[in-house]
Chain A
Amino acid sequence: MISGKSGYPMLLWAAREVLRLPGRNLLLLACLASLTFLVATALLLSQALDRTWSRLMDQAPDLVVRRIDAGGWAPIPVATALASASTVPGALSPTPRLWGVVPGPRGPVTVAASTAAIPEDALRGLTPPLRGQAVVGAGMAGFIQDDRLILDGRMQLTVIGTFPPETGLATHDLVWMAPADARSLLGIPSGHASDLAVTLFHPEEAEAIRADLAAAFPWPVNITGLRADSWRHHVRAVRMGGMAVVACVPAVLAMVLIVLGTAAGTGSRQSQWGLLKALGWTTGDIVRLQVIQAAVVGLPAIIFGLALAYAAVFHPPAAGIAAMWITGGRHLPELVLDHSGAAAIMLEITALVILPYLMAVYLSTIKGVARDPLHLLQESPWK
């Protein structure tokens, strides 16, 4: 008699039941783990990309002012631009940027130079490049031979350092060089910059300040708001997560149907239940046994699936592949994503998979077992 004795004996009995059909239970475990892995990968990556992009874009300027003329983009005179931008209330710390995109050894690269001194703690062991020197991103380090980097087929630089690989989301293909080299390579005269980055006191006022800024400059300018770009990244990430949830619903339904059709309703099971009832087991005992048996398979399966998804999203080599696959972007081998909020997502996914699964087992067992033991024993294969 099992009634009233839950816990370890029932758990052992459930484990024995699992071992009676190892192949089927292994398949069920693989099915649940795969379902959890697919849903969790998309949702965790969506959340992690959204958080990471959001934190990165917080460091980006709110507005970028670029001078245009009849020929397209034109270098911006730094002194005039700074004086003009400082007359606009709410536009803080206008910063001239020296940057551009040039052909590198294996495709286009971003070159940048800092006109201001960089704090020592930010350098983290890197030496600011002097004339003829460069610090390159980890994505380019593999293409450098004899510490020589040739840009645009005409400028040769000596590579004196590499940005840490884990900063790849900002520096993957970045070439940091001296301002004089950047001016020479990009064709920017002295006293000019590529454009002007502006931070706003209230980023929500970007649209209003754009008009004031445009009017403040003595030449035509094009002003780009990066908040819109940040929002675009957010929408991209959220859409990815939404698609995963939509795809998850039919997958969970299919899993419930499989459980209803095979795991609890076969004739051999019913005859076994009839035998147990004839030996003194109650309906409650059998239902409890089935639910515990389902949990013995289901909980480890979900944890395996979650662990695989966690590794795929937050472990750098796999994270880069997952991000490339989902965003259609580039492979960043040492991509580091923000994992805040991942615990809540994993709990939600656990509930999303385990509750329908256990509910299906519970209901199908109740439906099958709530009968007279004689009728249960008469089911196949005892006929």
Chain B
Amino acid sequence: MPSVYRKKSGDLPAPCRNARNLLMGLAVVTSLLLLAMGADLLRQPLPGQAAAEQWMHTFSLSGPALWTAGSPTRHPETIHPGIDLRLTVGMESLP
């Protein structure tokens, strides 16, 4: 005889409903995350990237702007072979 707590034959017993909800919740959240990452990965080319490369080419810049202007990492061509960098304070405005 079926339980009175089960309205339909396809219903899960009460102790399993939380488990089903947990599984469905995890499946939905992880699927959404995977879909979002997949959609982002398929987005090519990134608009900002192409524009950054174009400006890099236009001005023939030597390095990315991740480091401060005037530093040797940013402008390696400014490292003078004959001048100690410790003595160049104030000379950074020279070409």
Contacts and interface: CB of A to CB of B under 8 A. Distances in A.
Interface string A144-178: 00000000100000000001111111111110100
Contact of B60 (A15, A197, A304): A197
Contacts of B91: 72
Most buried by B among A19, A95, A170, A299: A170
Most buried by B among A59, A124, A174, A300: A59
Nearest to B22: A15
Counting from the closest, the 8 A-B pairs by CB-CB distance are A166-B48, A15-B19, A336-B48, A329-B66, A172-B65, A59-B57, A194-B95, A224-B77
A77 interface: no
Contacts, number: 208
Contacts of A109: 69
B52 A56 contact: yes
Nearest to B37: A310
A313 to B, nearest CB: 11
Interface of B: 12, 15-16, 18-20, 22-23, 26, 29-30, 33-34, 36-37, 40-41, 44, 46-49, 51-70, 74-83, 91-95
Contact of B56 (A59, A194, A334): A59
Nearest to B16: A12
Given A59-B53, A101-B69, A170 B64 contact: yes
Interface of A: 11-13, 15-16, 18-19, 52-53, 55-61, 64, 66, 68, 72-73, 75, 95, 97, 99-103, 107-110, 112, 114, 118, 122, 124, 137, 139, 152, 163-174, 176, 186-188, 194-195, 197, 222, 224, 226, 228-229, 233, 296, 299-300, 303-304, 306-307, 310, 314, 323, 327, 329-330, 332, 334, 336-340, 342-343, 346
A327 B66 contact: yes
Given A16-B18, A299-B30, 4 more contacts: A12-B16, A68-B80, A114-B58, A332-B66
Contacts of B92: 101-102, 108
B90 to A, nearest CB: 10
A334 B62 contact: no
A60 B63 contact: yes
A18 B20 CA distance: 12
Given A101-B75, A300-B30, A167 B93 contact: no
A166 B94 contact: no
28 contacts: A16-B19, A19-B22, A52-B49, A60-B62, A61-B62, A73-B80, A97-B59, A101-B93, A109-B69, A110-B65, A118-B58, A122-B58, A137-B65, A152-B93, A165-B48, A170-B52, A170-B56, A173-B68, A195-B95, A224-B62, A226-B77, A300-B26, A300-B29, A304-B30, A306-B37, A307-B36, A339-B46, A342-B41
